[in-house]
Amino acid sequence: MSILMILFVLILWVAPIWAAASLGKSRGRLGLGLLLGIVLGWIGVLLIAVLGQTPEAQRAALLKEGFPCPFCQEPVRNGATVCPHCQRDLPPTPPFHA
Ligand SMILES: [Zn+2]
């Protein structure tokens, strides 16, 4: 097997699996990303990119830069004084951080 053949296999088969898996992982869909990368190659990468984040992954990403509202438990950005979800006034400093 020549070097070119190895590169060819890497680019066509291994790279899309890796790309789909890492894209899927950042969107909370690691299993689906792996599956699409293996079965569909670069088309699977496109699909997982189009699918976007799961609601759980979105919520986790929001909680990283904020805290859960003490009233409705939805993620709120740090420094917010009114919850964008339930419209209630928030304490100036949240008693807990997620
Ligand atoms: Zn709220």
Q: What is the DSSP letter of 88?
A: P
95 CA to centre of ligand 1 in angstroms? 14
At residue 60, φ and ψ (nearest 5 deg) are: -65, -40
88 CA to centre of ligand 1 in angstroms? 6
69 CA to centre of ligand 1 in angstroms? 5
Where are the domains positioned within the chain?
3-52, 54-98
**Pair of tokens at residue 28:** 């909370």
25 CA to centre of ligand 1 in angstroms? 28
* CA pair distance 23, 65, nearest whole angstrom: 21
pLDDT tens per residue, the chain (98 residues)?
A: 699 999 998 888 899 999 999 999 988 899 999 999 999 999 999 999 898 888 888 888 888 888 889 999 988 888 889 999 999 999 876 555 55
24 CA to centre of ligand 1 in angstroms? 29
At residue 74, φ and ψ (nearest 5 deg) are: -80, 150
64 CA to centre of ligand 1 in angstroms? 17
Contacts of 32 (CB under 8 A, 6+ apart): 24, 48, 51
Query: What type of residue sits at position 23?
Result: L
58 CA to centre of ligand 1 in angstroms? 17
